[in-house]
Amino acid sequence: MSALGAALVSADLLLQGGVVDLFSGLVGVVLDGLSKAALFVLIASGLSLIFGLMGVLNFAHGSLTMIGAYLGGVVMVVAVTGETGGLTRLVLFFLAIAAVFGVMTAFGAAMERTIIRPIYDRAPLFQILLTFGVVLVLDEVARIVVELRGMQPQSDWQAALGTAPDFLAAWYEIAGVSIRGLYLFEVLVGALVVTAIAAFLTRTRYGLYIRAGSEDAEMAQALGIDIRQAFTVVFGVGAGLAGVAGVMLMWDPRYGASVPLGVETLLIGFIVVIIGGLGSFKGTVVAALLVGFTDATMTWVFQNHVSFPGLPEMVMFLVLVGVLVVRPQGLFGLAEVGGH
Amino acid sequence: MRLPLGGRVVQLLELRLAADQFVDTLGERHLAEHRRAVVGVRPVLPAFGAFPFLDEADVEEGEVVALIGRNGVGKTTTLRSILGLTPPREGSVRFRGEDVTGEETHDIARRGVGWVPEERRMFTHLTVDENVRIATPESANVPEAFETAYSTFPELEDHRGKEAGDLSGGQQQMVAIARGLVGDNDLLLVDEPSEGLAPLIVEAVADAIRTVSEETTVLLVEQNFPLATELADRYYLLDHGTVVDAGSTEGVSRDDETIRRYLSA
């Protein structure tokens, strides 16, 4: 009995240890995945709504996130000092989010009015060239400003990191896994924004206009709907959401406020929007979850098993390629979007 | 038969459109073979090149007026010009005596001009209810609009929660007309309502237009000549950019010399 029994017991122990490891690993991946999905949905929903309604693929979307990150950082760095109490920091933090949302929404609306509006009726190439030009301008302006302040545009803004309210900087324990407060907060914001957008689209009159306009803007106009105004509103809110995502990315050790953040988030936004199906909000949410979990899983694999830092990004692109091969219009995409 | 409201004839719509309005957007080519239509009968000004500038097409309150003519003479473009979707390059559109040329489409629509477009243009991913609701002006009462729509088209009542894209062609046409009906419109522009529908369904759609025309003035584009003359009080016959004939539909037949000439292919 003894030899067999000992073997069984040790196998059992091994298995138990393995299960515990696997379980905590799984919880870690789920939490990481959820927080990434929440960020991705914030970045991509504006991109998706704008494309759905106006048929414009906004290359400058990532740059808006990058500017949002710096703007949020500016508010916090200016307002928060070493003596600032926890509660004040918290209030300032929400003020920073509100301010960035306001400023970026106004900026997006102004951008739509001045430069996007004249090219709606042009070929998509014009829109791509124009918004790509905006990327170059915004990134260069950001680089100049950042360098004038004596900071490194390529690396994360360290001073901003220290301004996080306590609950974001703290670690919490969930099912044996430690997780940053920030990540939990990201999940919360993501869930709130998804719920709010879904309710806006399905429950409000204006949301109805947007859904109708996404399918046939001309018909919507002929029913007395000021669709151009809806264009401005959607472009503005999309830009505002991108900015809010930036504020959270500023503190996120996985990202951080830097000029290259724009391109990095734009790429993620495109992957999410294309996988979900251009113009489908439901698709964007599902794809953000898919891409978030893929990223989290592959990051875990990279940290524990495979020594290849490019793994998460590579697998995300493989998922993208796979979806495009099987379903070129994306998971929830319609054959035709951009209703004008 | 004219149905002047309040016992007097009120001019609702007056069109003055340049002939070259109907040249394709590239403009410079195919002028000869491109069909140009102008609503009107009397040349007023010499305009672009050889194409005269014409006027005097009008629609009076309470009437049903049909625009007839072969494919491509610009009947649909005329309706689009009224709505500002294809803004008149020259000429003017007057609604209730006011010049609405160059106004934004949604402003023209809010003045009380409704559109039942060619191919129905459903919002296919919205439900029937949502299609009706979106056509209801902001100030109007939505439950009342539903009541109006579904009492006029009882058949739609059972499909209220369905996506409009899942309806049959005839049902979609009814939704399209219902959208025009609940829009509190004084003038309804109805484009090819019978197109692509089975004869039995066409009869139902014709009934619907008859019902609607009791409330609203209708400018109708219709290929089906007997249907057009049956529904309309007056007609304008278009060809090659001009109105070649106009008058009351009473006693008009397809065999009439002018009509046969301009309608046969």
Looking at this predicted complex, what is its ipTM?
A: 0.82
A36, A313 Cβ separation under 8 angstroms: no
Instruction: Give the domain extent around A103.
Output: 35-259
A226–B contact, CB cutoff 8 A: yes
Kindly report, residue by residue over B186-198, the tens digit of the pLDDT.
Answer: 999 999 999 888 8
Among chain B residues, the shortest Cα distance to A214 is held by B123
What's the number of domains chain A is made of?
A: 1
Tokens of A7: 């073997």
Mean pLDDT of B45-49: 31
Tokens of A337: 């979007």
Kindly report, residue by residue over B148-160, the tens digit of the pLDDT.
Answer: 999 989 999 999 9
B114, B124, B133 member nearest A208 (Cβ): B133
Rounded distance, CA A212 to CA B6, Å? 38
3-state SS string for A215-262:
HCHHHHHHCCCCHHHHHHHHHHHHHHHHHHHHHHHHHCCCCCCCCCHH
Residue A116 lies in a domain: yes
**Do the chains contact at A226 and B104, CB–CB below 8 Å?**
yes
Pairing mode, if any, of strands B217-221 and B187-191?
Answer: parallel
- Judging contacts by C-beta atoms under 8 Å, the chain B residues touching residue A218 are 85, 105, 121
Kindly provide the b/e burial profile for residues A81-107, where b requires at least 16 CB atoms within 10 angstroms of the residue's own CB: eeeeeeeebeebbeebbebbbebbbeb
**Do the chains contact at B105 and A223, CB–CB below 8 Å?**
no
**Do the chains contact at A223 and B179, CB–CB below 8 Å?**
yes
A212, A215, A224 member nearest B110 (Cβ): A224
- Judging contacts by C-beta atoms under 8 Å, the chain A residues touching residue B83 are 222
Residue B133 — pLDDT band, cuts 50, 70, 90?
A: very high
Mean pLDDT of B204-231: 91
Residue B38 has pLDDT above 50, yes or no: no
Among chain B residues, the shortest Cα distance to A210 is held by B134
A98 three-class SS: helix
Residue A167 lies in a domain: yes
Q: Distance, in angstroms, between B161 CA and closest chain A CA? A: 14
Determine the pLDDT at residue A15. Answer: 55
Determine the pLDDT at residue A339. Answer: 45
Tokens of A131: 């918004």
Q: How far is CA A219 from CA A116, B83, B118, in A?
A: 21, 11, 11
Q: How far is CA B142 from the centre of its chain?
A: 25
Residue B69 DSSP code? -
Determine the pLDDT at residue A82. Answer: 72
pLDDT in tens, chain A (340 residues): 455 555 555 555 555 556 667 788 888 899 999 999 999 999 999 999 999 898 888 999 999 999 999 999 999 888 877 777 778 888 888 999 999 999 999 999 999 999 999 988 888 889 999 999 999 999 999 999 989 988 888 888 888 787 778 888 889 888 888 888 999 999 999 999 999 999 999 999 999 999 999 999 999 999 999 999 999 999 999 999 999 999 999 988 888 889 999 999 999 999 999 999 988 899 999 999 999 999 999 998 888 888 888 888 899 999 999 999 999 888 988 765 444 4
Residue A14 lies in a domain: no
Class of domain B61-87+104-263: alpha beta
Rounded distance, CA A199 to CA A212, Å? 15
Kindly report, residue by residue over A79-130, the tens digit of the pLDDT.
Answer: 877 777 778 888 888 999 999 999 999 999 999 999 999 988 888 889 999 9
Select from B80, B119, B133, B134 the residue whose CB has the most chain A CBs within 10 Å, as the one to mutate to test that interface.
Answer: B134
Of B75, B116, B83, residue with least CA distance to B205? B116
Please list, in sequence order, all residues whose beta carbon lies within 8 angstroms of the beta carbon of residue A97, skipping any fewer than 6 positions away: A72, A244, A247
Rounded distance, CA A89 to CA A158, Å? 17
- Judging contacts by C-beta atoms under 8 Å, the chain A residues touching residue B110 are 224
Q: Distance, in angstroms, between B7 CA and closest chain A CA? A: 30
**Do the chains contact at B109 and A223, CB–CB below 8 Å?**
yes
Pairing mode, if any, of strands B11-17 and B91-95?
Answer: antiparallel
A332–B contact, CB cutoff 8 A: no
| Mean pLDDT rounded to a whole number for chain B | 79
Length reported for chain A: 340
Determine the pLDDT at residue B10. Answer: 64
A131, A60 Cβ separation under 8 angstroms: yes
Rounded distance, CA A266 to CA A47, Å? 9
In chain A, positions 3-22, which contact chain B (CB-CB < 8 Å)? none
- Judging contacts by C-beta atoms under 8 Å, the chain B residues touching residue A228 are 104
